[in-house]
């Protein structure tokens, strides 16, 4: 699973149903991946991705093998292709959390086992699946709902557009000019949305939050962007999700954030710690959604 556009609507709905079942009846799957090993390749530090994938393997009877890029011969110049071919002889799947999206694409091209995108600069599909599971738990459906994403048009925004397009959930990305999503990704999402009736849109107008069922944001300064911090804060400050922004959404709207968050920057403390926030249910669902992906691919 490199991008959610690789999967059909039926496949994504199957994963979400499986995630719900795994969460409700974990004991049924305690041996589902017995004898299977997942190589977890990390170029970036991680909390939720590392722990949730580790626990997903342990709780389904498999073995998680943590590999930092510096631990491998990749750090001394071995090619991605050779690494993929070697790992394919040792383990049953690879999860990679990398900077360049091309790294995961190349791993998938040369591996003979499933490769899972744990995060790249272009996409974060595992996060979007957990987000969709959380929304479905709260509202009973995805189709016809509206998610308003406020902030940087980044990898999280890209994957939210994809999951919305595939499940019939409308997604509007509200970003300042010059920080909006990749037009190529927007085009792919809009094409996918034609099959489900979802509306995928991009704007710089915060008024687009009005009536949304879900309000979502992410950090304004991602890993590798520290030198841009001051400039980004200046541009994004008007896009903080605060009480006034939430007041524009549906009264029953929930707030989501992929974490880690920076209270007082992209979101106010009163929102992220308030009654509409579902961020810890969302974080927990990384475990269940990833169990579902692993069981789907490996059992």
CA–CA separation, 163 and 4 (whole Å): 7
Other Cβ atoms less than 10 A from the Cβ of 172: the count is: 20
Catalogue the active-site residues: 97, 124, 127, 218, 258, 286
Return the ∠ at Cα 119 (arms to 207 and 52), rounded to 5°. Answer: 105
CA–CA separation, 129 and 120 (whole Å): 15
Return the ∠ at Cα 246 (arms to 245 and 252), rounded to 5°. Answer: 155
Spatial CB neighbours of 148, under 8 Å, sequence gap ≥ 6: 172, 174, 208, 209, 212, 214, 215, 216, 249
Identify the CA nearest to 288 among candidates 12, 62, 2, 17: 17
Tokens of 186: 């927007």
Rounded to 10°, the helix 155-167/9-24 angle is 100
Return the ∠ at Cα 231 (arms to 230 and 236), rounded to 5°. Answer: 100
Spatial CB neighbours of 280, under 8 Å, sequence gap ≥ 6: none
DSSP 8-state symbol, 74:
G
Other Cβ atoms less than 10 A from the Cβ of 10: the count is: 9
CA–CA separation, 5 and 171 (whole Å): 15
Contact 150, 217 (CB under 8 A): yes
């Amino acid at each position: 699973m490199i991008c959610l556009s690789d999967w059909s609507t039926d496949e994504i709905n199957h994963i979400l149903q499986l995630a719900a079942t795994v969460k409700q009846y974990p004991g049924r799957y305690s041996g589902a991946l017995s004898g299977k090993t997942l190589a977890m390749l990390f170029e970036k530090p991680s909390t939720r991705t590392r722990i949730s994938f580790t626990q997903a393997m342990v709780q389904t009877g498999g073995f998680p093998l943590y590999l930092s890029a510096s631990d491998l011969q990749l750090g001394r110049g071995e090619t991605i292709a050779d690494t993929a071919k070697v790992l394919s002889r040792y383990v049953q799947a690879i999860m990679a959390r990398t900077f360049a999206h091309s790294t995961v694409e190349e791993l998938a091209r040369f591996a003979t086992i499933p490769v899972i995108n744990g995060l790249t600069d272009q996409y974060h599909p595992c996060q979007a699946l957990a987000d969709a599971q959380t929304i479905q738990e709260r509202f009973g459906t995805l189709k016809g709902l509206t998610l308003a994403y406020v902030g940087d048009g980044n990898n999280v925004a890209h994957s939210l557009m994809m999951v919305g397009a595939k499940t019939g959930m409308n997604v509007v990305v509200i970003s300042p000019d010059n920080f909006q999503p990749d037009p190529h990704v927007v085009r792919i999402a809009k094409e996918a949305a034609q099959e489900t009736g979802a509306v995928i849109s991009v704007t710089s107008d915060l008024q687009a939050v009005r009536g949304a069922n879900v309000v979502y944001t992410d950090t304004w300064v991602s890993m590798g962007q520290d030198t841009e911090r001051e400039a980004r804060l200046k541009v994004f400050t008007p896009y903080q999700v605060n009480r006034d922004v939430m007041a524009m959404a549906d009264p029953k709207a929930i707030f989501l954030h992929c974490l880690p968050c920076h209270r007082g920057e992209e979101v106010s403390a009163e929102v992220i710690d308030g009654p509409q926030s579902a961020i810890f249910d969302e974080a927990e669902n990384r475990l269940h959604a990833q169990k579902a992906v692993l069981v789907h691919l490996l059992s």
